[in-house]
Amino acid sequence: MKDLKDIKNRAEKEVSSARNNETIRQVFQKYLGKKGEVTLILRSLKDLPEKKRKEIGKLANAIRQELEEKITIKGRAIGAKVERNKPKKRIDFSFPGHKLTTGHLHPITQVEREVEDIFQRLGFSVIEGPEVESEWYNFDALNIPANHPARDMWDTFWLRSNQKIPISKFQIPNKSKIKNKNQNLLLRTHTSPVQVRYMEKHNPPLRIIVPGRTFRYEATDASHEINFYQVEGLMVDKKISAANMKAIMERFFEMFFRQSAKIRLRPSFFPFTEPSFEVDVRCLICGGKGCSVCSKRGWLEMAGAGMVHPQVFKSAGLNPRNWQGFAFGMGLDRLTMMKYKIDDVRLLYKGDLRFLEQF
Ligand code: FA5
């Protein structure tokens, strides 16, 4: 009992004279730690006769509890003092702030917006159409009936046959002439279906462009993807000729590439234009010398184009005797590649941030 009281006195003195965290920790170890003086007494209780055990045990436990409280209070007081004495943090207002990383538009979207902007300045409106299209608008209405060999030009992703829609649902001037009474659905292979969709509802004169996503079931390479983007152009009025088309396209390429871009028209075939052209631009990546993007030709095919076929006017319910027009369909991916000198279209769809962050 005397030893215990002595321990208590010593411990209390040491607690009150402790000035820092380390000394208070040492006091704790010395008296209450695993081999601490109070702990050892508590452990030795089992060897004492019952009466003594009760007496000494009671006192030892009370001392342990009291000491524990005192050490905790002292520890807190030391902690608070340390905190008070810490030098105040100064804010340096001249220090540069943290840069916030923000996302940005995909290069194709940037190009799409620029194309829209240029054509709007040339008097064109921007129109949209559905990506899931009917066989009628994608083919029949564009003078490509079922079984016509020209359908092979556009390798098609067809949708499941139980999703057919009856021909009665369409605003077709002469429904009886359509062979496929139940129309298959497909992923549009080009943006041209929107020509007919728009002319059904709007009377000429008109000037529109239709940017959008298109799909083709074909092998991919440096300049071909199965999912790509086109922008359709359509201008209809009383007297429109191929010369108007060439002027508009040349003006567009100049504004887009901000340099004189060389273009050439090659005779071509599209069932929905007559005459038809392929519009090539001198390859800006190799300067015309020949590279993988232009398949060593020095020219890159950018668009199909031509004068609107009378059959297309008829599909839209317009009299071809009254109207003339030109149409074109440009590859937005190809425009993006030329603008930023990208040598593989597939890079645009990989979602690789190391590539995309450069734009
Ligand atoms: C057409 O799609 C026609 N609808 C264009 C047209 C519209 C002609 C109006 C006349 C009047 P074509 O299949 O050539 O045509 O495609 C047009 C452009 O889309 C091509 O010049 C090319 O730039 C781009 N393109 C075609 N296939 C792919 C592909 N797999 N990957 C990337 N771009 C492509």
Peptide bond into 130 cis (omega under 30): no
Q: Which of 334, 343, 347 to mutate to test the pocket of ligand 1 (most atoms within 8 A of CB)?
A: 334
Range 12-19 contact pairs with CB under 8 angstroms and sequence separation of 24 or more:
12/67, 12/70, 15/67, 15/70, 15/71, 15/74, 16/74, 18/74, 18/78, 19/78
Peptide bond into 107 cis (omega under 30): no
| 154 found inside a domain | no
Let me know whether 324 and 263 are in one domain.
yes
pLDDT at 282: 85
Let me know whether 232 and 201 are in one domain.
yes
334 in ligand 1 pocket by Cβ < 6 Å? yes
Q: Looking at the 3D structure of the chain, how many domains does it have? A: 2
301 in ligand 1 pocket by Cβ < 6 Å? yes
Domain termination residue (choose one: 85, 119, 149): 85
Let me know whether 57 and 117 are in one domain.
no
Residue in 105, 70, 118 with CA at minimum distance from that of residue 252: 118
Instruction: Please give the average per-residue pLDDT across 116-145, as a whole number.
Output: 95
Domain termination residue (choose one: 85, 115, 148): 85
Let me know whether 327 and 225 are in one domain.
yes
Let me know whether 75 and 112 are in one domain.
no
Let me know whether 115 and 44 are in one domain.
no
| 182 found inside a domain | no
Residue span of the structural domain in which 300 resides: 107-130+190-356
Question: Helix, strand, coil: what percent of the chain each, to 5?
Answer: 45, 20, 35
Q: What are phi and psi of 302, to 5 degrees?
A: -105, -30
Domain harbouring 200, CATH code? 3.30.930.10
| 167 found inside a domain | no
Let me know whether 227 and 296 are in one domain.
yes
Domain termination residue (choose one: 85, 119, 151): 85
329 in ligand 1 pocket by Cβ < 6 Å? yes
CA 11 to centroid of ligand 1, rounded, Å: 91
| 124 found inside a domain | yes
Round the average pLDDT of the chain to a whole number and report it: 90
Q: What is the pLDDT of residues 139-193, one digit of tens each?
A: 999 999 888 877 877 889 998 866 667 777 777 666 666 666 667 889 999 999 9
pLDDT at 117: 98
User: In this structure, what DSSP letter does residue 98 have?
Assistant: P
Structure token pair of residue 300: 């890159």
Distances (CA, A) of 306 to 69, 83, 323: 94, 81, 15
Q: What is the pLDDT of residues 47-102, one digit of tens each?
A: 889 888 999 999 999 999 999 999 999 999 998 988 888 888 888 889 898 888 88
Q: Which of 192, 273, 300, 326 to mutate to test the pocket of ligand 1 (most atoms within 8 A of CB)?
A: 192
For the beta carbon of residue 346, count every other beta carbon within 10 angstroms.
Answer: 14
Encode 160-215 in three state secondary structure. Answer: CHHHCEEHHHCCCCCHHHCCCCEECEEECCCCCHHHHHHHHHCCCCEEEEEEEEEE
Residue in 234, 322, 325 with CA at minimum distance from that of residue 274: 325
| 145 found inside a domain | no
Let me know whether 117 and 28 are in one domain.
no
Let me know whether 196 and 344 are in one domain.
yes
Let me know whether 74 and 200 are in one domain.
no
| 50 found inside a domain | yes
Let me know whether 276 and 345 are in one domain.
yes
Let me know whether 68 and 205 are in one domain.
no
| 99 found inside a domain | no
CA 330 to centroid of ligand 1, rounded, Å: 6
345 in ligand 1 pocket by Cβ < 6 Å? yes
| 33 found inside a domain | yes
CA 2 to centroid of ligand 1, rounded, Å: 103
For the beta carbon of residue 106, count every other beta carbon within 10 angstroms.
Answer: 15
